[in-house]
Amino acid sequence: MTFDWSVLWTYRARLLDGLGVTVMLAVVTMTLAIPFGLLLAFLRLSGARVIRAPATVFVEVFRSTPLLLQVYWAFYVLPALLGVGFSAITTALIGLVCNVASFNSETFRAGIMSIRPGQTNAALALGMGRAQVMRHIVLPQAVRRVLPALATTWVSLFKDTSLVSTIAVGDLSYAALQIRSETYRVMEVLTGMAVLYWLLGYPQAKLVDWLHRKLKTAE
């Protein structure tokens, strides 16, 4: 069996374009999923059941179903439900943001709850308002504890963006699969795709391990 690896070089422009879309999807998703996840976390920590319950259902549904199915659902069902069509990339972002925001909300909730209640009580006793306590006392400490978990979610997200290729969003895996069907260089293109993802993902995985070691909390 002879392999012709030059196909990867010939199609480098399209692979790089795909790579750009992959990075863009991951960055935009995380940028939106952090505030959305924080909002969900606050809603779930609320004292009122009517506020807590819908947020809980949202988070648990998105955490307990496959992202791929969520993307299909957004692609086939949402337009019929709302009566408006979205582009494939918008659909992909809707699915990714809802999914990642749900995971982020659990991370934030755990981070906020990990700050001992004595700190909140002390701040309240000093005359601070609830919002002030959250902003000046709880959140600054929680951020440090939450960072490693957020980084883990980021690595998962970076890999999960490949799933939106199934609804024809032109990310790296979509570009590679297209090139494969045009050139029939199956082995070369698929291996090239795996290596590209590896080159990007491996340092990220290592960085996450380092963050976990660096920001380890002992109380």
Partner 1 sequence: MDFAPILLYWRFIAHALAMTLLITVLSIGFGGMVGVVVAIGRTYGGRLLDAVLGFYVDSMRAIPLLVILIWTYFAFPLMLGWNLSPVAAAVLGLSAHLGAYAAETVRAGLTSIRPGQMRAALALGMTRASAVRTIILPQAIIRMLPPIGSLLVFAVKDSGIASAIAVPELIRQSQVLSGITYHAFEVYTLAMGIYFLLCYPIARGVDAVYRRVAYLGAS
| Chain contacts with partner 1 (rule: CB under 8 A) | 1, 60-61, 63-70, 72-73, 76-77, 80-81, 155, 159-163, 165-166, 173, 177, 180, 186-187, 190-191, 193-194, 197-198, 200-202, 204-206
Q: Which is nearer to partner 1, 104 or 165 (CB)?
A: 165
Tell me how far CA of residue 215 lies from CA of 7, 181, 210, in angstroms: 43, 45, 9
Torsion angle defined by CA atoms of residues 72, 74, 75 and 79, in that order, rounded to the nearest 10 degrees = 150
Residue 62 Cβ vs partner 1, minimum distance, rounded to whole Å? 10
Q: Which is nearer to partner 1, 63 or 144 (CB)?
A: 63
What whole-number distance in Å separates Cα of residue 62 and Cα of residue 103?
Answer: 8
Residue 195 Cβ vs partner 1, minimum distance, rounded to whole Å? 9
Residue 180 Cβ vs partner 1, minimum distance, rounded to whole Å? 8
Tell me how far CA of residue 78 lies from CA of 31, 87, 201, in angstroms: 23, 12, 32
Q: Which is nearer to partner 1, 137 or 188 (CB)?
A: 188
Q: Which is nearer to partner 1, 134 or 167 (CB)?
A: 167
Residue 116 Cβ vs partner 1, minimum distance, rounded to whole Å? 20
What whole-number distance in Å separates Cα of residue 68 and Cα of residue 178?
Answer: 19
What whole-number distance in Å separates Cα of residue 83 and Cα of residue 81?
Answer: 6
